């Protein structure tokens, strides 16, 4: 199989070049959300010794993906690396993934500086192991500033984000002295949006999910109301640049009406 892939590389490069030429720079997404799905199924399909091996391949792929996005100058990327629901998995399955994530977070500041990324983490970080939270905070501090944004969603749930946003809005209204019987009058879509984790980002134009699953599972639940979706059949560790470029090509060809 590896020999076959080697032989096909020149063909894929030619196809990638063709896809790049087909992209209209004026129609590219400003913000891409990506769901990195399929690590465990990839491990089983490839006959890997354990899930940790596929997690490591997947995080290396994520670093590659950031390079692809930088070459096309996508201003914002939000990657969902760990859901709140994932935390219910067995400890023996989660612990190796936590270790792989810590390793990734240690590398991210160098990548962020190379690709001029500002790094942020979102999600219920209080539910995560202390060493993982510490690695995330250190990565964010070390990354510095950049003209593009990389947001990492860990321990993230879309419903929880909306709950947190409403609670934060209500708390801010109460702190400002708004009478309790008037607070409901101040709760509307714009104010809730202003308290989301990604309040300072545009809503995602394109959401990509790998592994063949055709659902969002709550990812950026509020923000994706008018997003375009690309559900890709390959597992995340096997995701290729050509798959990314196809998703972008299809996106640029769509007529977005935003409900109008």
User: Which sequence positions are flagged as catalytic?
Assistant: 37, 86
| Angle, CA of 159, 78 and 154, to the nearest 5° | 55
Nearest to 209 by CA among 14, 52, 36, 56: 36
Two tokens at 12? 């894929």
CA 161 vs. chain centroid, Å, equals: 15
What SS3 class is residue 136? helix
Residues 6+ apart with CB under 8 A from 230: 206, 207, 208, 209, 247, 250, 251
Quote helix, strand, coil % in the chain, to nearest 5: 55, 15, 30
């Amino acid at each position: 199989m590896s020999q076959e892939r080697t032989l096909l590389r020149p063909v894929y490069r030619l196809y990638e070049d063709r896809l790049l030429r087909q992209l209209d720079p004026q129609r590219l997404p400003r913000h891409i959300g990506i769901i990195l799905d399929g690590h465990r199924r990839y491990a089983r399909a490839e006959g890997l010794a354990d899930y940790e091996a596929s997690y490591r391949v997947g995080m290396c792929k994520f670093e590659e993906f950031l390079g692809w996005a930088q070459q096309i100058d996508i201003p914002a990327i939000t990657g969902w690396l760990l859901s709140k629901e994932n935390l219910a998995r067995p400890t023996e399955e989660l612990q190796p993934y936590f270790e792989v994530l810590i390793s990734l977070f240690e590398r991210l500041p160098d990548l962020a500086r190379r690709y001029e990324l500002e790094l942020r983490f979102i999600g219920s970080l209080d539910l995560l192991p202390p060493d993982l939270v510490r690695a995330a905070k250190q990565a964010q501090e070390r990354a510095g500033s950049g003209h593009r944004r990389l947001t990492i969603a860990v321990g993230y749930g879309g419903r929880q984000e909306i709950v947190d946003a409403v609670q934060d809005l209500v708390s801010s209204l109460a702190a400002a002295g708004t009478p309790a019987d008037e607070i409901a009058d101040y709760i509307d879509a714009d104010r809730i949006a202003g308290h989301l984790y990604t309040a300072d980002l545009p809503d995602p134009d394109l959401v990509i999910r790998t592994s063949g699953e055709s659902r969002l599972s709550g990812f950026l639940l509020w923000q994706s109301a008018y997003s375009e979706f690309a559900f890709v059949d390959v597992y995340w560790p096997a995701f290729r640049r050509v798959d990314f470029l196809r998703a972008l090509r299809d996106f640029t060809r769509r007529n977005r009406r935003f409900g109008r």
